[in-house]
């Protein structure tokens, strides 16, 4: 049995030798260790034993196939509980479209523009008597190359044209912020 | 969406309610988070539950995330707490799932190797929970002592002590040492 305070007959602490093997830490007393049969034997055995631990650590772990979907289903339930809606009036009933849906459609549209790597949108509250009228703010990450204002204009154009067509929302302001560029 | 977008941008977007950005964070970190849960709990079913709880909690708590640590550190902190809670409440099944590994060219040698790895898994499962958490973060996730301390909310010397103790116990269980 190994005791954590155990020392080898030469006085070297096993714990220090193990840190040397596991962490690649330098020896406490290199001159002693290189010529000490006790230390050399212990190091050999520790290295052999520790190889099994590193083998286990490098063993691939397969994430359950539907884990992302399960997580996101639970998150979307939470989002649905708190999301606001735009209201589309109709003589025979009303239709509500979640802000989350407006946002996701806007993001997808923005990401179709060449140069847009990432788009995140948000519906901004508006004090409008029209329940389907909203402002949008969009944040982008764009590749290096295209003129940023042209990318922003293209995003604004497609969103202004397509988001109302697909969601029934009426858009007022579309503010765009470019957060970062990538290679 | 691809890896070109930095975590901090995804986190800020998720803090603004962007579910797609959060999903990208889930995809980036679920493997690490699942690995920690699996190594700490020893059961795939428990690990899967713990990972789901971790990300749902993360979504709820995102508005309070202050960007003073990496998102990975924050997620490690949540999953470690979830796993420790499960261990404390004995909701863990206590049984270890086997990982299926293809046999190599020498089946006898592969079987012997697998038996040694099983012995290590069993030894990890018997460690005191605080040592287990520290060991898993250090040896399986490759975190520095400083990072492990940050995740566990402990001092670096305390974490080093836990890891050294855990290592000695593990080594003691391996046939390569005995």
Closest CA to A15 of B164, B135, B163: B164
Two structure tokens written together for A88: 């589309």
Q: How far apart are CA A64 and CA B34, in angstroms?
A: 9
Q: How far apart are CA A7 and CA A13, in angstroms?
A: 4
- For tokens 């305070």, the residue is A5
- Whether the CB of A175 is below 8 Å from some CB of chain B: the reply is no
Is B171 in contact with B122 (CB distance < 8 Å)?
A: no
**pLDDT band (50, 70, 90) for residue B98:** low
Is A10 in contact with A32 (CB distance < 8 Å)?
A: yes
In angstroms, the first-to-last Cα distance of chain A is 56
Q: What is the mean pLDDT of residues A125-147?
A: 88
**pLDDT band (50, 70, 90) for residue A89:** confident
Closest CA to B157 of B134, B125, B126: B134
Window from A2-6, A142-146, B79-83 with minimum mean pLDDT: A2-6
- Whether the CB of B27 is below 8 Å from some CB of chain A: the reply is yes
**pLDDT band (50, 70, 90) for residue A26:** confident
Spell out which residues of chain B touch residue A48, defining contact as CB-CB under 8 Å.
176-177
Spell out which residues of chain A touch residue B140, defining contact as CB-CB under 8 Å.
56-57
Among A68, A120, A139, A141, the residue to mutate for chain B (most B Cβ within 10 A)? A120
Spell out which residues of chain B touch residue A180, defining contact as CB-CB under 8 Å.
5-6, 9
pTM, rounded to two decimals: 0.84
For the cut 80, the answer to whether the pLDDT of residue B177 exceeds it is no
For the cut 90, the answer to whether the pLDDT of residue A183 exceeds it is no
Is B81 in contact with B41 (CB distance < 8 Å)?
A: no
For the cut 50, the answer to whether the pLDDT of residue B165 exceeds it is yes
**pLDDT band (50, 70, 90) for residue B117:** confident
- Whether the CB of B21 is below 8 Å from some CB of chain A: the reply is yes
Q: How far apart are CA B97 and CA B90, in angstroms?
A: 17
Q: What is the ipTM of this complex?
A: 0.86
| CB pair distance less than 8 Å for A53 and B27 | no
Q: What is the mean pLDDT of residues B88-108?
A: 61
Per-residue pLDDT of A157-181, as tens digits, reads: 999 999 999 999 999 999 999 999 9
H helix or E strand, kind and range, residue A175: strand A170-182
Spell out which residues of chain A touch residue B18, defining contact as CB-CB under 8 Å.
103, 107, 120-122
Spell out which residues of chain B touch residue A19, defining contact as CB-CB under 8 Å.
164
pLDDT attached to residue A125: 72
CB-closest option in B2, B5, B171 to A2: B171
Per-residue pLDDT of A44-60, as tens digits, reads: 999 988 998 999 999 88
- For tokens 């005995």, the residue is B178
For the cut 60, the answer to whether the pLDDT of residue A139 exceeds it is yes
Q: How far apart are CA A68 and CA A70, in angstroms?
A: 5
H helix or E strand, kind and range, residue B19: helix B19-41
Window from A87-91, B1-5, B70-74, B157-161 with minimum mean pLDDT: B1-5
Interface of B with A in 73-102 (CB under 8 A): 99, 101
**pLDDT band (50, 70, 90) for residue B89:** confident
Q: Cβ neighbours of residue A75 under 8 Å, at least 6 residues apart?
A: B19, B22, B23, B55, B56, B59
Interface of A with B in 46-75 (CB under 8 A): 46, 48-57, 59, 61, 63-64, 67-68, 70-72, 74-75
For the cut 80, the answer to whether the pLDDT of residue B161 exceeds it is yes
CB-closest option in B13, B35, B55 to A61: B35
Per-residue pLDDT of B35-52, as tens digits, reads: 999 999 989 999 999 999
pLDDT attached to residue B178: 61
For the cut 70, the answer to whether the pLDDT of residue B101 exceeds it is no
H helix or E strand, kind and range, residue A161: helix A148-167
CB-closest option in A67, A71, A141 to B5: A141
Q: How far apart are CA A181 and CA B63, in angstroms?
A: 25
Window from A3-17, A34-48, B71-85 with minimum mean pLDDT: A3-17
In A6-130, alpha helices (H): 14-23, 30-35, 37-58, 67-82, 99-111
pLDDT attached to residue A1: 46
Interface of B with A in 93-152 (CB under 8 A): 99, 101, 113, 116-117, 120-121, 139-140
Q: What is the mean pLDDT of residues A110-135?
A: 88
- All domains in chain B, ordered by first residue: 7-177 (1.10.1740.10)
State the CB neighbour count (10 A cutoff) for residue B61: 11
Q: How far apart are CA B90 and CA B105, in angstroms?
A: 40
For the cut 70, the answer to whether the pLDDT of residue A13 exceeds it is yes
Q: Is B98 exposed, middle or buried (0-12, 13-18, 19+ CB in 10 A)?
A: exposed
pLDDT attached to residue B81: 96
């Amino acid at each position: 049995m190994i005791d954590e305070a155990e020392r080898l007959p030469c006085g070297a602490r096993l714990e220090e030798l193990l840190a040397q093997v596991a962490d690649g830490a330098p020896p406490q007393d290199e001159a002693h260790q290189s010529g000490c049969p006790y230390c050399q034997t212990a190091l050999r055995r520790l290295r052999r034993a520790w190889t099994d631990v590193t083998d286990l650590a490098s063993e691939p772990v397969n994430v359950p196939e539907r884990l992302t979907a399960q997580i996101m289903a639970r998150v979307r339930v939470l989002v649905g509980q708190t999301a606001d809606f735009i209201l589309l009036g109709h003589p025979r009933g009303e239709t509500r479209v979640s802000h989350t849906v407006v946002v996701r459609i806007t993001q997808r549209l923005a990401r179709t523009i060449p140069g847009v790597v990432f788009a995140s949108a948000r519906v901004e509250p508006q004090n409008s008597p029209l329940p389907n009228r909203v402002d949008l703010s969009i944040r982008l990450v764009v590749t290096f190359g295209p003129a940023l204002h042209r990318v922003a204009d293209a995003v604004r154009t497609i969103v202004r044209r397509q988001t109302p067509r697909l969601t029934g929302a009426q858009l007022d302001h579309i503010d765009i912020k470019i957060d970062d560029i990538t290679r | 969406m691809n890896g070109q977008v930095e975590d901090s941008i995804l986190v800020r977007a998720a803090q603004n309610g962007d579910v797609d950005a959060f999903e990208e964070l889930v995809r980036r970190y679920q493997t690490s988070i699942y690995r920690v849960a699996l190594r700490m709990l020893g059961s795939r079913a428990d690990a899967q539950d713990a990972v789901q709880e971790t990300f749902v909690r993360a979504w709820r708590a995102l508005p309070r995330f202050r960007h003073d640590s990496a998102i990975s550190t924050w997620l490690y902190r949540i999953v470690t707490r979830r796993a420790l809670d499960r261990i404390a409440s004995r909701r863990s099944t206590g049984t270890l799932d086997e990982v299926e590994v293809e046999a190599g060219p020498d089946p006898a040698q592969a079987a012997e190797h697998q038996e040694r790895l099983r012995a290590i898994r069993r030894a990890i499962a018997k460690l005191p929970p605080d040592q287990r958490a520290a060991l898993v973060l250090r040896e399986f996730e490759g975190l520095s002592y400083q990072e492990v301390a940050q995740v566990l909310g402990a001092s670096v010397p305390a974490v080093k002590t836990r890891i050294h103790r855990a290592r000695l116990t593990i080594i003691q269980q391996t046939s390569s040492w005995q």
